[in-house]
């Protein structure tokens, strides 16, 4: 497994290979907490937010919302407490970058959060980790203790007037709690249901106070932005999305791993075939899901020879999305019908049950997939699946419904053969056209 | 008046208030937007996704329940795209729904059914196996069929927001989400409001389960007979039998909306109970049995005995006792009987809590329940509305939770409502009068604080809150106050003076459904309490004519003297300790079998309507009194018409002047009696009296520290409520049965002794 940077100097992954990389000592010896010092040494909160704005850093959790803008939404004159919450729920299938950051370089997250807390005036902050990452809590807690002992956390940090505390908290293993408002509900001790927006968390989040929820990778980018300056950071990437991005590469490549690429990396084919050393076993590339399970699946024909640029805009042009950077590569042995069925079962299991379309729709989708897999498919099933997806998409309370629909819609569209195979032989005498009237 | 803005809906431009909710505006103007989870009085949910509309410049369809109108907003509520989405939602909701309407109690009045008529498909595309969950009981009162649930969560929201109990919540997730309880059994006040607001047959009235279909029932809107709040409810009757009580707003639109408490909703089985007295009964000789008789015989017998006693001992040998549970018509007939037929002032009503001092000094209007809901400051002295006047309790809770009202509670018991209080002031038992003294002015703070067992600063804080209130300020008080204190509290608005932007309202908390009416009619004799009247027994009092039964506190210890009386005539529904002393018992009609009016604690005169003909040979109380009068050669002239009785009330009682039944027809617009407002009175005497009373008071600082259990009053099985078999079960602690699949009634038998003692403890 490869962990490292391609096409740029390692930024986020700078220290992960060092011995005792998670210790404060190693972190400090390698440039750690310098950004914090710099901030506390005379940057105003607004100046920090400005740098982040200039950096064109976009949220790494999946939505890609400009971080600086998110921070500036926090009302300056609110008398309420403010919170910075780190979303370490990393539960998007195919994504495993945050765990490496936290496991191997926890202080980078702490420093990022401290700077964010300073910029936003937050006194108390939380790291919300998914239930399955319980072991990470110990690592984070140790790092927080170290920081506390070194006066990097707690009262009057580094002798300044800035006081700040960070606590860890685990979820109970629900995918929906990665959605920022559901995360806040869960953090408050309630059922992990998403909340209505507006009000957005920046105005009314945790305990109805202004809150910024950022992904681990977003927050860990902050110290470097401060150190090198927003502009320099932005220049690492593209105009609209600055810096580097971590890609969690899994599937049928010879060298899976966590890859740090500059935003706008050219191109996806080169990335798969050269950087990831190509498809294992000498087989053919069939499909890629580039951004975690909630994005459109891309067939090889949309990648090979197409110069797909790996950033937000490039992937949209190519018919998919960056999402969380969960890069899943599939070779010719994969039956996309089965893949889609598997993903749909995941979404059904994780649907929180709040709204009608997602709750009932995903349940229905899974039942249809199972029936088809059991050999009881009907010619009209593909059309039915698409229609159910259409009825979920855009109508659900939170984006989970959309996320459940997109893989199915793109899979049926891009891989009709795989669906045909399951539907056709079973319907004696059915014409091919009838079975796939949908495609 | 808020700013007006313009909103375009389906091409029509409407003016509306800034901040109005889009779904409300659409509906107001006749653009039908379907929804399940939206409920105007509850927190937003936005989960059913039925109310989707298209708003220009917004990327996706929007739920109109969550959208606040902005100026220039352009909205489409009907289009192919929207209809497809709405039909899709209904299709989704029906996917795992069992479609067992023919055996569902809600079939025929189900919101899902109605929605399917409008938005359902002709063809069912869902051909998979449906998820299964067994039917079960959540409590003796609430049956549950989770499969029918559409997860609109109105139930969990009313439980939390209205009742403050949060006893039910969703469990599980995704398509396996079910509404359930925290420990598998519902331990709450069993108000059943979750059943009421349920749009489907998921939560069901366990007393009515599988008893009738809604279309077989004749629904009659009437006033509840159980407490002074006077909730409007609809009795569903089938061939002379009351099957259920609901407040569902398609049937009733009263002061309580869809709210009812356990008694209003579930305590109706007494109406057709087999123990109802069937015929008049006469005890021909002392120590004998009560023997059934015809009406003619019983009336004739009673009239003859009365005539004989009157001739031998004079008019004041009679005592007439009405009841705060009877209609105004019944009490008025009794009063008329006492004055005009017998010619005595020896009458009263069997209540220990007289509101006379309050009404005589009333210097501010009575607060309606709507006023309480929107009040800014609420002061509650004594009382326990969440158990004794549950609608008032709910309104207070919502005023605080939804309206941000400031609630101050003075009580010697940490009642449940204290959860909502900005200030709960735990006072020494019996010192409620001192609160009034402190509210009236700062002069006696030291004395008051000392006796109350609180700091003087606390009292100053409360006065400041009263001082600073912008908006309505409601003063509620229970039965703990002395006459002087009640009078002073009624004058408090005058004592504190008028100020722009502040309005004082009073709200007494009497116990019975017609306590206020009994006072208004004049039957609550200020000069003669029940105890005083009964104490005349053996000293001139020879005969008693009682409508209803005496309270246990009045009866205890007096049985022997009462037995010595020449004649006791009782009108009752059931045989009670009072009928055990009676020489003649007339079977009276219950509130469900009679026409009339009740006056609630907000002074609203509300109609009681006949839902079924009187059971067996029962007759309405006022009719019995009129028949007795006829037999004594006095024609009341009521012509068998309750409205005639009421007209006479309106002609004689100033507060009811001009009222007629047709004016009281619309339960959604209740009419407040015009209680005369007294101007500023000199309260020095009353305050001096309170001061003296407090000074001489021996107070104990032993205050109960435990919050009373939910239902300690509500579940108490009284003469009427014990006829619902579930009540004794609840009073016995609502034990969880071995299985929740079978009604607890068939699994748990409450100890007979317990039943007897609890019944005795009730009314």
pLDDT value for B640 = 85
Given the structure tokens 């389960």, which residue do they identify? B209
All structural domains of chain B = 4-93 (3.10.20.740), 123-272 (3.30.70.20), 281-353+515-672 (3.40.50.740), 356-508 (3.40.228.10)
Q: Choose the mutation target among A353, A371, A372, A388 for the interface with B, i.e. most B CBs under 10 Å.
A: A353
**What integer is the mean pLDDT of B9-29?**
95
SS3 category, B32: coil
Question: Can you state the percent helix, strand and coil of chain B, rounding each to 5?
Answer: 35, 15, 45
Lowest mean pLDDT among A112-121, A420-429, B4-13: A420-429
For residues B380 and B395, give the distance between their C-alpha atoms in angstroms, rounded to a whole number.
Answer: 13
Whether B93 and A359 lie within 8 Å, measured CB to CB:
no
Over 50: is that where the pLDDT of A438 sits?
no
Q: Choose the mutation target among B173, B179, B200, B404 for the interface with A, i.e. most A CBs under 10 Å.
A: B173
Question: B538 falls in which pLDDT band (50, 70, 90)?
Answer: confident
Over 90: is that where the pLDDT of A308 sits?
yes
pLDDT value for B249 = 84
Question: B720 falls in which pLDDT band (50, 70, 90)?
Answer: very high
Whether A397 and B170 lie within 8 Å, measured CB to CB:
no
| CA-based nearest residue to A90, from A128, A63, A59 | A128
Beta bridge partners of B671: B605
Do residues B227 and B196 make contact, with C-beta atoms less than 8 angstroms apart? no
Chain B neighbors of A351, CB-CB under 8 A: 173-175
Q: Angle formed by the axes of helices B328-336 and B621-631, to 10°?
A: 20
Residue numbers of A between 342 and 371 with CB closer than 8 Å to B? 348-357, 359-364, 367-368, 371
Q: Angle formed by the axes of helices B432-440 and B483-496, to 10°?
A: 20
Residue numbers of A between 189 and 248 with CB closer than 8 Å to B? 191, 196
A359 to chain B, closest Cα gap in Å: 5
B88 vs A191, A349, A391: nearest CB:
A391
Over 50: is that where the pLDDT of A297 sits?
yes
Structure tokens at B5: 């803005």
Q: What is the pLDDT of residues B410-431, one digit of tens each?
A: 999 999 999 999 999 999 999 9
Strand order in the sheet with B671-672: B596-599, B604-608, B671-672
Over 70: is that where the pLDDT of B245 sits?
yes
Question: B757 falls in which pLDDT band (50, 70, 90)?
Answer: low
Residues in chain A: 439
Chain A neighbors of B150, CB-CB under 8 A: 356
For residues B12 and B577, give the distance between their C-alpha atoms in angstroms, rounded to a whole number.
Answer: 68
Provide the CB-side half-sphere exposure for B456 (13 A, CA).
Answer: 9
DSSP classification of residue B159: I
Question: B763 falls in which pLDDT band (50, 70, 90)?
Answer: very low
Burial of residue B725 (CB within 10 Å: 0-12, 13-18, 19+) is middle
Whether B47 and A354 lie within 8 Å, measured CB to CB:
yes
Chain A neighbors of B89, CB-CB under 8 A: 356-357, 391, 395
First vs last C-alpha separation in chain A:
38
Do residues B709 and B732 make contact, with C-beta atoms less than 8 angstroms apart? no
B61 vs A364, A371, A395: nearest CB:
A395
**What integer is the mean pLDDT of B56-64?**
95
**What integer is the mean pLDDT of B689-707?**
92
Q: Which chain A residue has the Cα nearest residue B92?
A: A360
For residues B396 and A202, give the distance between their C-alpha atoms in angstroms, rounded to a whole number.
Answer: 33
Contacts of B77 (CB under 8 A, 6+ apart): B9, B10, B26, B31, B32, B33, B53, B54, B64
Question: B760 falls in which pLDDT band (50, 70, 90)?
Answer: low
**What integer is the mean pLDDT of B699-709?**
92
Beta strands in B158-254 (DSSP E): 168-171, 178-181, 203-205, 218-223, 232-238, 241-246
Over 90: is that where the pLDDT of A425 sits?
no
A349 to chain B, closest Cα gap in Å: 7
**What integer is the mean pLDDT of A220-249?**
96
A305 to chain B, closest Cα gap in Å: 34
For residues B262 and B502, give the distance between their C-alpha atoms in angstroms, rounded to a whole number.
Answer: 35
Beta strands in B510-583 (DSSP E): 543-547, 567-572
**What integer is the mean pLDDT of B620-642?**
94
Burial of residue B33 (CB within 10 Å: 0-12, 13-18, 19+) is buried
Over 60: is that where the pLDDT of A429 sits?
no
Q: What angle do CA A30, A36, A40 make, to 5 degrees?
A: 145
For residues A20 and B451, give the distance between their C-alpha atoms in angstroms, rounded to a whole number.
Answer: 69
pLDDT value for B748 = 87
Q: Which chain B residue has the Cα nearest residue A348?
A: B174
Number of CB pairs, chain A paired with chain B, less than 8 A apart: 89
Do residues B66 and B46 make contact, with C-beta atoms less than 8 angstroms apart? yes
For residues B623 and B446, give the distance between their C-alpha atoms in angstroms, rounded to a whole number.
Answer: 56
Strand order in the sheet with B136-137: B136-137, B142-144, B203-205
**What integer is the mean pLDDT of A374-398?**
93
Whether A353 and B61 lie within 8 Å, measured CB to CB:
no
φ, ψ for residue B753 (rounded to 5)?
-65, -45
pLDDT value for B108 = 93
| CA-based nearest residue to B163, from B391, B322, B384, B362 | B391
Give B693-700's long-range contacts (Cβ < 8 A, gap of 24+).
B693/B433, B693/B482, B693/B484, B694/B431, B694/B433, B694/B434, B694/B437, B694/B447, B694/B448, B694/B451, B695/B447, B697/B430, B697/B431, B697/B451, B699/B428, B699/B429, B699/B430, B699/B431, B699/B451, B699/B453, B700/B428, B700/B429
Percent of the residues in chain A that have a pLDDT greater than 90, as a whole number: 91
Q: What angle do CA B344, B348, B352 make, to 5 degrees?
A: 160
First vs last C-alpha separation in chain B:
49
Tell me the DSSP string of B362-393.
--SPBPPHHHHHT-SEEEEES--HHHHSHHHH
Q: Choose the mutation target among A204, A208, A355 for the interface with B, i.e. most B CBs under 10 Å.
A: A355
Whether B47 and A384 lie within 8 Å, measured CB to CB:
no
| A384 in reach of chain B (CB within 8 A) | yes
For chain A, what is the total number of helices (H) and then of strands (E)? Answer: 18, 10
Whether B66 and A363 lie within 8 Å, measured CB to CB:
no
Question: B1 falls in which pLDDT band (50, 70, 90)?
Answer: low
B421 to chain A, closest Cα gap in Å: 20
For residues A426 and A429, give the distance between their C-alpha atoms in angstroms, rounded to a whole number.
Answer: 9
Whether A367 and B128 lie within 8 Å, measured CB to CB:
yes
pLDDT value for B95 = 95
| CA-based nearest residue to B189, from B622, B676, B616, B710 | B710
Q: Are strands B584-587 and B596-599 parallel, antiparallel or unpaired?
A: unpaired
B174 vs A196, A348, A357: nearest CB:
A348
- What's the maximum distance between 2 C-alpha atoms anywhere in chain A? 81
| CA-based nearest residue to B515, from B635, B388, B353 | B353
Question: B515 falls in which pLDDT band (50, 70, 90)?
Answer: very high
Chain A neighbors of B174, CB-CB under 8 A: 348-353, 359, 362-363
**What integer is the mean pLDDT of B540-546?**
96
For residues A287 and A277, give the distance between their C-alpha atoms in angstroms, rounded to a whole number.
Answer: 16
Question: B701 falls in which pLDDT band (50, 70, 90)?
Answer: confident
Q: What is the pLDDT of residues A189-199, one digit of tens each?
A: 999 999 999 89
Chain A neighbors of B85, CB-CB under 8 A: 391, 395
Do residues B225 and B594 make contact, with C-beta atoms less than 8 angstroms apart? no
Q: Are strands B347-349 and B377-381 parallel, antiparallel or unpaired?
A: unpaired
pLDDT value for B145 = 96
Kind and range of the H or E run holding A83:
strand A83-88
Whether A363 and B95 lie within 8 Å, measured CB to CB:
yes
Q: Which chain B residue has the Cα nearest residue A193?
A: B173
Over 90: is that where the pLDDT of B122 sits?
no
φ, ψ for residue B72 (rounded to 5)?
80, 5
Over 50: is that where the pLDDT of B556 sits?
yes
pLDDT value for B2 = 65
Reply yes or no: is the peptide bond before residue A267 cis, omega within 30 of 0.
yes
Percent of the residues in chain B that have a pLDDT greater than 90, as a whole number: 89
Beta strands in A349-407 (DSSP E): none
**What integer is the mean pLDDT of A319-331?**
96
**What integer is the mean pLDDT of B373-398?**
97
Over 60: is that where the pLDDT of B731 sits?
yes
Q: Are strands A326-331 and A285-289 parallel, antiparallel or unpaired?
A: antiparallel
pLDDT value for B585 = 98
A398 to chain B, closest Cα gap in Å: 10
**Torsion region of A173: left, alpha or beta (phi above 0 gives left; psi -120 to 50 gives alpha):** left
| CA-based nearest residue to A122, from A81, A72, A68, A66 | A81
Over 80: is that where the pLDDT of B290 sits?
yes
Given the structure tokens 């509500």, which residue do they identify? B714
Question: B639 falls in which pLDDT band (50, 70, 90)?
Answer: confident
Q: Are strands B604-608 and B596-599 parallel, antiparallel or unpaired?
A: antiparallel
For residues B524 and B520, give the distance between their C-alpha atoms in angstroms, rounded to a whole number.
Answer: 8
For residues B494 and B686, give the distance between their C-alpha atoms in angstroms, rounded to a whole number.
Answer: 14
Whether B177 and A362 lie within 8 Å, measured CB to CB:
no
Reply yes or no: is the peptide bond before residue A198 cis, omega within 30 of 0.
yes
Whether B93 and A361 lie within 8 Å, measured CB to CB:
no
Alpha helical stretches, state H, B226-266:
262-266
pLDDT value for B527 = 84
Q: Choose the mutation target among A354, A356, A384, A387 for the interface with B, i.e. most B CBs under 10 Å.
A: A356
Question: A433 falls in which pLDDT band (50, 70, 90)?
Answer: low
Residue numbers of A between 180 and 199 with CB closer than 8 Å to B? 191, 196
pTM for the complete prediction? 0.92
pLDDT value for B762 = 46
φ, ψ for residue B282 (rounded to 5)?
-125, 135
pLDDT value for A439 = 46
**What integer is the mean pLDDT of B448-466?**
94
**What integer is the mean pLDDT of B713-720?**
92
Over 60: is that where the pLDDT of B308 sits?
yes
For chain B, what is the total number of helices (H) and then of strands (E)? Answer: 25, 28
């Amino acid at each position: 497994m490869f962990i490292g940077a391609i096409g740029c100097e390692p930024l986020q992954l700078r220290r992960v290979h060092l011995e005792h990389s998670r210790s404060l000592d190693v972190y400090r010896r390698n440039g750690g907490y310098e950004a914090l010092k710099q901030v506390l040494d005379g940057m105003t909160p607004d100046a920090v937010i400005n740098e982040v704005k200039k950096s064109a850093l976009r949220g790494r959790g999946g939505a890609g919302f400009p971080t600086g803008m998110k921070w500036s939404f926090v009302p300056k004159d609110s008398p309420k407490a403010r919170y910075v919450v780190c979303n370490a729920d990393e539960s998007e299938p195919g994504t495993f970058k945050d765990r490496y950051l936290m496991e191997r370089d926890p202080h980078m997250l702490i420093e990022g959060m401290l700077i964010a807390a300073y910029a936003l005036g937050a006194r108390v902050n939380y790291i919300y980790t998914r239930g399955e990452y319980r072991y990470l809590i110990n690592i984070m807690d140790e790092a927080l203790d170290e920081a506390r002992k070194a006066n990097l956390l707690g009262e009057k940090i580094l002798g300044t007037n800035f006081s700040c505390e960070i606590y860890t908290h685990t979820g109970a293993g629900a995918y929906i709690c990665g959605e920022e408002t559901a995360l806040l509900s869960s953090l408050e001790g309630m059922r992990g249901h998403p909340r209505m927006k507006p009000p957005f968390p920046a105005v009314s989040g945790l305990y109805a106070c202004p809150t910024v929820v950022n992904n681990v990778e977003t927050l860990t980018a902050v110290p470097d932005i401060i150190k090198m300056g927003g502009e320099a950071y932005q220049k690492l990437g593209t105009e609209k999305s600055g810096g580097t991005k971590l890609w969690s590469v899994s599937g049928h490549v010879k060298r899976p791993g966590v890859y740090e690429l500059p935003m706008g990396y050219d191109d996806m084919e080169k990335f798969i075939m050269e950087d990831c050393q190509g498809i294992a076993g000498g087989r053919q590339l069939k499909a890629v899901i580039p951004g975690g399970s909630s994005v459109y699946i891309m067939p090889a024909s949309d990648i090979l020879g197409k110069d797909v640029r790996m950033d937000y805009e490039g992937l949209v042009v190519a018919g998919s999305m960056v999402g969380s950077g969960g890069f899943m590569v599939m070779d010719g042995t994969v039956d996309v019908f089965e893949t889609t069925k598997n993903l749909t079962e995941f979404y059904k299991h994780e649907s929180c049950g709040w709204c009608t379309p997602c709750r009932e729709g995903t349940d229905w989708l899974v039942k249809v997939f199972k029936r088809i897999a059991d050999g009881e498919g009907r010619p009209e099933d593909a059309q039915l699946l698409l229609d159910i997806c259409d009825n979920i998409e855009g109508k659900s309370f939170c984006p989970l419904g959309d996320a459940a629909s997109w893989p199915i819609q793109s899979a049926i569209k891009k891989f009709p053969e795989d669906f045909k195979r399951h539907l056709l032989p079973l319907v004696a005498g059915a014409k091919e056209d009838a079975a796939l009237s949908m495609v | 008046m808020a700013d007006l803005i313009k909103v375009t809906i389906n091409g029509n431009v409407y003016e509306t208030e800034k901040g109005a909710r889009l779904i409300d505006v659409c509906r107001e103007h006749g653009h039908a937007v379907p929804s399940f989870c939206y409920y105007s009085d509850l927190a937003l949910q936005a989960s059913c996704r039925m109310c989707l509309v298209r708003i220009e410049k917004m990327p996706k369809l929007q739920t109109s329940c969550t959208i606040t109108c902005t100026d220039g907003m352009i909205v489409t509520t009907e289009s192919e795209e929207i209809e497809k989405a709405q039909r899709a939602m209904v299709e989704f909701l029906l996917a795992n729904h069992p479609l067992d309407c023919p055996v569902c109690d809600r079939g025929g009045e189900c919101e899902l059914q109605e929605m399917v008529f409008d938005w359902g498909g002709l063809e069912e595309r869902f051909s998979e196996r449906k998820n299964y969950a067994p039917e079960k009981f959540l409590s003796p009162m609430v049956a549950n069929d989770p499969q029918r649930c559409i997860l609109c969560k109105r139930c969990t929201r009313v439980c939390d927001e209205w009742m403050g109990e949060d006893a039910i919540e969703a469990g599980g997730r995704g398509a396996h989400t079910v509404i359930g309880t925290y420990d598998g059994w519902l331990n709450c006040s069993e108000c059943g409001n979750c059943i009421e607001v349920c749009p489907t047959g998921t939560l069901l009235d366990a007393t009515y389960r599988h008893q009738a279909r809604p279309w077989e029932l004749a629904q009659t809107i009437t006033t509840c007979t159980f407490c002074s709040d006077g909730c409007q409810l609809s009795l569903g009757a089938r061939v002379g039998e009351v099957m259920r009580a609901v407040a569902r707003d398609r049937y009733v639109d009263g002061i309580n909306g869809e709210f009812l408490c356990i008694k209003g909703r579930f305590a109706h089985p007494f109406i057709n109970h087999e123990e109802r007295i069937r015929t008049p009964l006469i005890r021909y000789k002392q120590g004998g049995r009560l023997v059934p008789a015809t009406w003619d015989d019983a009336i004739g017998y009673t009239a003859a005995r009365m005539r004989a006693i009157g001739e031998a001992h004079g008019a004041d040998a009679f005592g007439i006792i009405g009841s705060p549970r009877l209609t105004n018509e019944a009490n008025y007939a009794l009063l008329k009987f006492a004055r005009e037929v017998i010619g005595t002032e020896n009458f009263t009503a069997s209540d220990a809590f007289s509101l006379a001092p309050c009404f005589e000094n009333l210097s501010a209007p009575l607060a309606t329940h709507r006023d309480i809901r929107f009040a800014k400051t609420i002061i509650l002295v004594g009382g326990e509305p969440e158990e004794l006047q549950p609608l008032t309790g709910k309104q207070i809770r919502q005023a605080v939770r939804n309206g941000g009202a400031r609630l101050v509670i003075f009580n010697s018991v940490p009642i449940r409502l204290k959860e909502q209080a900005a200030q709960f002031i735990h006072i020494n038992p019996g010192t409620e009068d001192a609160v009034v003294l402190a509210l009236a002015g700062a002069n006696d703070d030291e004395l008051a604080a000392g006796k109350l067992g609180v700091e003087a600063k606390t009292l100053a804080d409360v006065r400041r809150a009263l001082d600073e209130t912008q908006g309505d300020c409601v003063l509620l008080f229970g039965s703990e106050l002395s006459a002087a204190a009640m009078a002073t509290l009624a004058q408090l608005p005058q004592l504190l003076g008028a100020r722009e932007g502040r309005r004082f309202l009073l709200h007494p908390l009497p116990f019975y459904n017609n306590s206020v009416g009994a006072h208004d009619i004049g039957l609550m004799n200020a000069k003669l309490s029940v105890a005083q009247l009964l104490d005349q027994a053996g000293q001139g009092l020879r005969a008693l004519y009682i409508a209803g039964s005496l309270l246990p506190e009045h009866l205890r210890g007096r049985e022997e003297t009462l037995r010595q009386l020449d004649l006791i005539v009782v009108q009752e529904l059931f045989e009670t300790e009072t009928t055990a002393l009676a020489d003649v018992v007339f079977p009276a009609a219950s509130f469900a079998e009679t026409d009339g009016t009740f006056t609630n604690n907000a002074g609203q005169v509300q109609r009681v309507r006949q839902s079924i003909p009187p059971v067996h040979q029962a007759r309405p109380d006022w009719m019995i009194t009129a028949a007795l009068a006829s037999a004594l050669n006095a024609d009341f002239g009521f012509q068998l018409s309750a409205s005639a009785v009421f007209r006479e009330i309106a002609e004689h009682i100033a507060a009811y002047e001009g009222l007629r039944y047709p004016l009281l027809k619309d339960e959604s617009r209740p009419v407040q009696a015009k209680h005369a407002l007294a101007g500023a009175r000199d309260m020095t005497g009353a305050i001096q009296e309170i001061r003296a009373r407090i000074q001489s008071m021996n107070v104990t600082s032993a205050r109960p520290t435990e919050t009373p259990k939910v239902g300690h009053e509500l579940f108490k099985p009284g003469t009427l409520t014990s006829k619902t078999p579930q009540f004794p079960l609840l009073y016995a602690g609502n034990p969880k049965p071995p299985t929740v699949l079978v009604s607890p009634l068939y699994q748990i038998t409450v100890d007979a002794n317990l039943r007897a003692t609890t019944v005795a403890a009730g009314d």
